Structure 1
């Protein structure tokens, strides 16, 4: 289901409706994060931040590699961890992640197929004048993928921090290989996110040079951080200048 530019999964919509009913009846005793704070106007402002961050990330990658790059955020997607894990299933994935902390905390995740990660790492290294042979993830390729994660997630984290007029700190990127659902389950558990909570994700596609390398960007926020973000938006304690396009 799609409302405006927000894509809502069937399970997420069920949780949101249930939360609204319980809250109306005074029966909702647990903070359900985005479900309790669902607001299309707030989500529209968050989408503006995502668009701004994407344009900023695209410019960073273009400057770094020298290649024309394209990065798009199609919409904000709301889904449960169970649905996200089911989508990626047991297929082998390459995941890079960065934790961030401050007024809000969470994890920024890039999820690649193995081929996409290899193609993108080679393109990045070639743009820096380095050759990358073979189909294994050696130290150079891992470093390139981690740098991509650092560039992209820092663009999102910095944009959220500026939007909220605060500061956030980031951990070094971490490279992981394995089954998509198992890797994501670990991330959800680290953020104390339950299977019936709602994840806010930015669906993105990245293209560098003539090599198309699609991947997903997930911004994983625990309930308290979702509540804090919506509270700041409702109070108007935000930097609305971030809704404008990134100035090349």
Structure 2
């Protein structure tokens, strides 16, 4: 079976684990903010790495990404990516302060984004780890602000040069106060051979 031939139905198990992870993330974020937050996972798929810049649109320009290494039975990296505007809106909600579109996110904002990224990444990896029966341990996230294509090219060439496909988890944050809906994507980029290990654990290879 070719990876690109996998059907949505065959990914239901890992999507369900991602939903469980999103529930844990929502609980942690709600506790952190002291207000209700829900996290939705409407779609998970395996896509060619060269198509990842299309997630936010080819003309997305500057985006904000959280880069986290993971270790264990499979090694690799995760990227949580969102538009620059969505990142600023998230910081505004997290810090409860105004932020104009032309202002660069400051150190306090970066720190708050790291905290959210750590919660989200850890929640997803823990749930997926339990589902697959594989050990996946995340590192401390690093926040990057750059062109999407430049970010993904750098990560791919540096760390995962022999893999062509990545797991993509579409993630939507729902905030009730203020009423906001923010979209992000979590990319699971295994090291060489890692995707094969994951698919074998899912009995798909």
Instruction: State the TM-score, normalizing by the size of structure 1.
Output: 0.71
Report the number of matched residues. Answer: 198
Match of 1:200 in 2: 167
Report the Cα distance in structure 2 between the residues aligned to 1:47 and 1:112, rounded to whole angstroms: 20
Match of 1:148 in 2: 116
Unaligned runs of 5+ in 1: 1-15, 20-33, 236-248
Equivalent residue for 2:11, pick from 43, 54, 58: 43
Please identify which structure carries the higher strand content.
Answer: 2
Report the Cα distance in structure 2 between the residues aligned to 1:201 and 1:120, rounded to whole angstroms: 21
Tell me by how many angstroms 1:199 deviates: 1.9
Residues 85, 185 of structure 1: 8 Å contact kept: no
After TM superposition, the structure 1 = structure 2 runs for residues 1-248 of structure 1, keeping only pairs within 5 Å, are: 19=2, 34-35=3-4, 38=6, 42-88=10-56, 89=58, 91-126=61-96, 131=97, 135-193=103-161, 197-208=164-175, 209=177, 210-222=179-191, 224-234=193-203
Aligned to 1:172, the other structure's residue is in SS state coil
Tell me by how many angstroms 1:87 deviates: 4.3
Tell me by how many angstroms 1:184 deviates: 1.3
Which is higher, the Rg of structure 1 or of structure 2?
Answer: 1
Report the Cα distance in structure 1 between the residues aligned to 2:121 and 2:62, rounded to whole angstroms: 22
Tell me by how many angstroms 1:175 deviates: 0.7
Report the Cα distance in structure 2 between the residues aligned to 1:70 and 1:185, rounded to whole angstroms: 31
Residues 116, 214 of structure 1: 8 Å contact kept: yes
Residues 132, 140 of structure 1: 8 Å contact kept: no
Report the Cα distance in structure 2 between the residues aligned to 1:39 and 1:150, rounded to whole angstroms: 30
* 4+ long deviations beyond 6 Å: none
Q: Deviations over 1:52-72 (max 9, x none)?
A: 111111111111111221211
Tell me by how many angstroms 1:35 deviates: 4.4
Report the Cα distance in structure 1 between the residues aligned to 2:192 and 2:43, rounded to whole angstroms: 21
Match of 1:23 in 2: none
